[in-house]
A and B are shown apart, each in its own frame.
Chain A
Amino acid sequence: MVGRLKLACVLFFFSLYLANSALGKVDRLILLNTPISEFTLPVFEGNGNKVWEICGTSATMVGRDLFSLLDAKLHCFAGDFAGGNASSEFFCATSEAATVDSSTHRASGECGIRIVGRNFDATADSWEFLGDSKKIIAKNNVVVFLYENVGELAR
């Protein structure tokens, strides 16, 4: 009886050791030491619709889930993109450089940005994109041209 208990204890602690070893391997960070060319990170909704995607001619991993992009292009979609309806694009933003956090679905940049939407064209010196809420925050020297035919309040 005592022998069986000892054996059970040994097996228990051995299994714990194996589990810790396995977790350690999973937790290990793998950093690519070469840039990824033509990088694209698409993000989808639960129903399979593409919500937004960010691309770059070159991407470098600078940390866990963190990428540094060159010539970044951010597409944010509104509505149903599943049918390939490109006109559902909410805006397309371009920036010389961006940092993307794939875990928090955020991107930002300090190199200036141009945001072109269906009816607006905006520029700013720096920016931040919150992917989960499809919100882009433009900062410093923000200028937006809004092309809307809204008529007049009075003639």
Chain B
Amino acid sequence: MLFLLPAAVLHSHMQITGDVAEIQDFDSFISMRFLQNASVDGEDFHLCGDCIEIILDSNRRPGEDAANLSAVREIHATINASFEQKSHSGKADRISIYPAKKILILDGNGEITDSEEGTVRGEKLIFDSANRQIIADGSAKKRSVISIDGDAAKKSSNRFHGPEKLNGHREK
């Protein structure tokens, strides 16, 4: 099963909408919280939820010029959270994106669907882009790791590391 990670999830230009936005400066980061019908739109990517919070790392030190140092540290979408991409879509109670680590976590009734390969469900799905892995974590006792090496997947040699008791099952 080939599951490409949501490519180009974050872009140099994102449009975020919502009924209410709270933008607040803290000492070490900036919080942008969008409430009610919140959505993030980028190129070939859409993320929505009832609440979306974007954490910008300000990287400021005392007396340091704060310009041009911010970066997106985290994005959290909660309550009816879902994302869509060209060939992938997913939903969960909470979707967290960590751009620097290249990790996307679907927490709580996670589900991700590849238009060609199928669907994976699990209580917690972790997309580890750096290691090309999806970790489906059903519970503390039943954990499985799915390798998403592209070549291997094309040969239909889906590799499940760990116990076969994959709580988050897959289906075509």
**Which residues from chain A sit less than 8 Å from chain B, CB to CB?**
76, 78-80, 83, 85, 87-88, 90-91, 115, 117-120, 122, 124, 133-140, 142-155
Contact = CB atoms under 8 A, between A and B. Distances in A.
B4 interface: yes
Contact of B13 (A80, A138, A146): A146
The 5 A-B residue pairs whose C-beta atoms are closest, nearest first, are: A154-B5, A135-B24, A87-B67, A150-B10, A154-B129
B60 A79 contact: yes
A155 B67 CA distance: 29
A153 B13 CA distance: 15
B13 A145 contact: yes
Contacts, number: 132
Nearest to A149: B12
Interface in B15-72: 15-25, 30, 32, 34, 54, 56, 58, 60, 62-68, 70-72
Interface string B96-113: 010100111000000000
Q: Which of B21, B58, B60, B97 has the most CB of A within 10 A?
A: B21
A148 B15 contact: no
B9 interface: yes
A91 B17 CA distance: 18
B152 interface: no
B142 interface: no
A67 B14 CA distance: 36
A118 B70 contact: yes
A134 B72 contact: no
Contacts of B86: none
A143 B15 contact: yes
Contacts of B102: 151, 153-154
Given A144-B21, A153-B102, A78 B7 contact: no
Q: Which of A90, A152, A155 has the most CB of B within 10 A?
A: A152
Contacts of A133: 24
B21 A146 contact: no
Contacts of A155: 7
Contacts of B138: none
Contact of B72 (A79, A139, A148): A148
A49 B64 CA distance: 14
A146 B14 contact: yes
A139 B11 contact: no
Given A138-B21, A139-B19, A142-B18, A119 B7 contact: no
A68 to B, nearest CB: 24
A65 to B, nearest CB: 24
B34 to A, nearest CB: 7
A139 B37 CA distance: 12
Contacts of B30: 78, 90, 117
B150 to A, nearest CB: 11
Nearest to A144: B16
Contacts of B58: 78
Contact of A137 (B10, B13, B17, B21): B21
Interface string B138-156: 0000000000000000000
